[in-house]
Amino acid sequence: MRPGTLAERRRLYVLARLLVKRRYAQHLTLKIVAKTLTSSPRQLQRAYEQFGRGTFRDDLLARRMIAAAELMSKPSIQAQVRAALDRSAPGSVQAISMCAGQGHDLIGVLAGHPRRVDVTARLVELDEHNTLLARSAAKEAGLGAVEVVAADASMTDAYEGAVPADLVLLCGVFGNISAEDIANTVSHLPRLCAPHATVIWTRHRHPPDLTPYIRETFERAGFGELAFEDSPPFGVGANRLLTPPLPFTSGLRLFEFIGYDVLQPDFHASQGGT
């Protein structure tokens, strides 16, 4: 390849990444970005193949995930986490976080909470970059008992040794999975929970608003509602297990993380959040 072509392709890649970073919340496709940069989808694809760590779609999804993770650190979620810790019985508290992202929701609260010394946690997150950031945030906050693992949170195996949990965080997950998988996950939660465990969850309220369905699903699975807060564009729920926990079973699939960009492309384009 001629050096000029290589430089041009690199320039195209850098410009595309910049555009994704600035306009991730809008409707973006390979075709639109290529056209904006007066190139072609094929050329742009080649630029990503040559210089990127993934495809254009991976880049866009990763940027939107970062934005969603930032939204997830909203005070409403942290307030529920804080309240759950305040309510915890004296002694050790075991926590797990599914699809933990950078761990803002838990680490942010633990850092300044009087029960921090009692809490042992496992954060499960697939993205290596997020796990590195979560690990360093935990270290910086002096939270030696917060373990961050790069693993598939959709399989119960990921929680072996870290359950039964007193606190289960399911933030930024329900907007990325199907309604059937929401029900499946909630029905298996008693296998991960300690008696009277608290589960904190979020879901966007864009139509069809599934939060009423999720609240009912929790009730059917034996959870009472402690709180449900409208925190636009999200609903934040806190539920407590009222029935006896079920035995832990490894090898169970809870959900398939499809991604809200696939599940709700219109909402995704306009909001950029889960």
Ligand X SMILES: C[S@@+](CC[C@H](N)C(=O)[O-])C[C@H]1O[C@@H](n2cnc3c(N)ncnc32)[C@H](O)[C@@H]1O
The binding site for ligand X (CB under 6 A) comprises 65, 68-69, 72, 99-102, 104-105, 124-127, 130, 152-154, 171-172, 257, 274
Minimum CB distance to ligand X, residue 217 (Å): 19
Minimum CB distance to ligand X, residue 160 (Å): 15
Q: 39 vs 239, which CB is nearer to ligand X?
A: 239
Q: 15 vs 263, which CB is nearer to ligand X?
A: 263
Q: 154 vs 264, which CB is nearer to ligand X?
A: 154
Minimum CB distance to ligand X, residue 173 (Å): 7
Residue 213 exposure: Cα atoms within 13 Å on the Cβ side: 16
Q: 47 vs 159, which CB is nearer to ligand X?
A: 159
Minimum CB distance to ligand X, residue 70 (Å): 8
Q: 46 vs 113, which CB is nearer to ligand X?
A: 113
**Side chain identity at 209, as an amino acid letter?**
D
Contact between 125 and 131 under an 8 Å Cβ cutoff? The reply is: yes
Minimum CB distance to ligand X, residue 159 (Å): 12
